[in-house]
Amino acid sequence: MAARSLLTAGLFALALSPQRGLAQDGSVLTYHGNHSRSGQYVVPALSWDKARSVQLDHTFNARVAGSMYAQPLYWRPAGANTGTLFVATEDDAVQAFDATTGKELWRHVVGHPVRGSSLPCGNIDPLGITGTPVIDPARRAIYLDAAVEQANGPRHEVFALSTKDGSVLPGWPIDVADALQKTGRHFDPTVQNQRAALTLLDDTLYVAFGGHFGDCGSYHGWVVGISLHDPRKLVSFETRARGGGIWSPGGLSVAGHDIYFATGNTFGAQSWSDGEAVLRVGADLRRGGDKSSYFAPSDWKALDAHDADLGGTNPLPLDVPGANGGRALILALGKDGKAYLLDRNDLGGVGGQLAAETVSQMRIITSPAVYSVGDGVFVALQAPGAHCPQPGRGHDLTVLKIATEPRPVMSTAWCGALRGRGSPIVTATDGHSNPIVWMLGAEGDDRLHAFRGDTGAAIFVSEPLSGLRHFQTLIATEGRLYVGGDRRIYAFKF
């Protein structure tokens, strides 16, 4: 693993190539475009000048059944004239739409969503599909976790649906609690919630869990891996202490064959027990045996006490060029407003960060995006930056510059003037040129904003959009941008 920490300039260029943001067919099959969660999309036609003329397509008419927290997905199979949009909602509905017209192609309601009155706490009512699904084009399947009201109470059921017609594929759904019980593990679906995007790696589907808003009950941070060859076969990870939820909409991040995730605050832990942490596991989800496989801030216990955890944001893999080939890093962001740079192959244990910096005046809880300008690596995140002009007054987008020489360091590159809690993405015409940072002012000004990635100059702002939920992000395809909201999808053309 140590050899992977030295990356050549060529490998760095590959890491920020079109493959990071789009599949070869222009598809967006998973959250933020890829399993590293880079949030970077390559759109050759979308230059800085073109972005100024982006327009909302009022002829696009995709009507959605329910509230939408999950990111839309887009798939254009080889040879198809147009792509298909897939959305999942809190009404436990999965829908497919023609990506050009918005015409509904099929709809499948996987069950009755859970009523808020059936749960001990929470702030989503009804509760259905919250985490972003994932598409496997080889199997022509879309996978998702749904909270479903059954006769024996709320359950978490993992489905595989045909992308052709929405039918349930053989062997599915999997009841998570029942499946774990067969392995001797206890999982309480009443207090566990599923907000994290699902992940596919090595023919295994990974589903991460936290708790409900309000931290009720004896929930834990869980990752469950389900074999696509035999869905009855599971592997799992569970935090040792109560709490430690995996809350981030981005969920798990993948670099190579390693899986990284961040956990939230734990309760009553007198010694560190997996909370306030970044953890690295392999495909089998086995806990590592030494400090190279985890990181927690040295003040983790104080963070526990103040609910100022790391679990609201997914770890972000970074490949930063420099002397001797550069460095393979992980960026972690916390509710305490701090950013932590970690060695991806040696996370360092408690207090083992390479660098830590207060970068925000407020908590950081949405998914970041990474892009390059020349040899520089930049990270866009939703937060009022600690070093922004007039901090806290409508500058809810902060962009950091990451450097490793002469030592790892983070600095504020620029700040974007908008209000809201969307998760940013980045488009570029070839992976490097014309970088544009896009972000939704969700539950703020409710507009779509665009900024030049190099200077931060504002280049586009949309009319107000309705029904945008916090943490919502957009996707970019060859010819359109798509935004999911309650009851509808917005399409922007350029």
Contact yes or no for 207/224 (Cβ under 8 A):
yes
Q: What is the mean pLDDT of residues 266-290?
A: 95
Q: CA nearest 70: which of 131, 157, 158, 128?
A: 131
- How many residues belong to the chain? 494
Contact yes or no for 293/281 (Cβ under 8 A):
yes
Q: What is the mean pLDDT of the chain?
A: 93
Which secondary structure element, helix H or strand E, spans residue 492, and what is its range? strand 488-493
Which secondary structure element, helix H or strand E, spans residue 34, and what is its range? none
Residue pointed to by tokens 């869990």: 209
Residue type, 332: A
The pLDDT confidence band at residue 15, using thresholds 50, 70 and 90, is very low
Please give the order of strands across the beta sheet that includes 153-162: 134-136, 141-150, 153-162, 174-175
Tell me how many domains the chain contains. 1
Question: Quick count: other Cβ atoms within 10 Å of Cβ 389?
Answer: 10
Q: What percent of the chain has pLDDT over 90?
A: 87
Q: What is the pLDDT of residue 13?
A: 38
pLDDT in tens, 403-455: 988 889 999 999 999 999 999 999 999 989 999 999 999 999 999 999 999 99
Q: Which residues contact 141 (CB under 8 A, 6 or more apart)?
A: 135, 160, 161, 162, 163, 169
The CATH number of whichever domain residue 487 belongs to comes to: 2.140.10.10
Cα dihedral across residues 400, 402, 407, 408: positive or negative: positive
Range of the domain at 370: 2-493
Q: What percent of the chain has pLDDT over 70?
A: 94
pLDDT in tens, 109-145: 999 999 999 999 999 999 999 999 999 999 999 999 9
Peptide bond into 315 cis (omega under 30): no
Residue type, 367: S
Q: What is the pLDDT of residue 392?
A: 54
Peptide bond into 406 cis (omega under 30): yes
Q: CA nearest 211: which of 176, 187, 183?
A: 187
The phi-psi region of residue 39 (left if phi > 0; otherwise alpha if psi is between -120 and 50; otherwise beta) is: left
Q: What is the pLDDT of residue 393?
A: 61
Tokens for 158? 């993992």
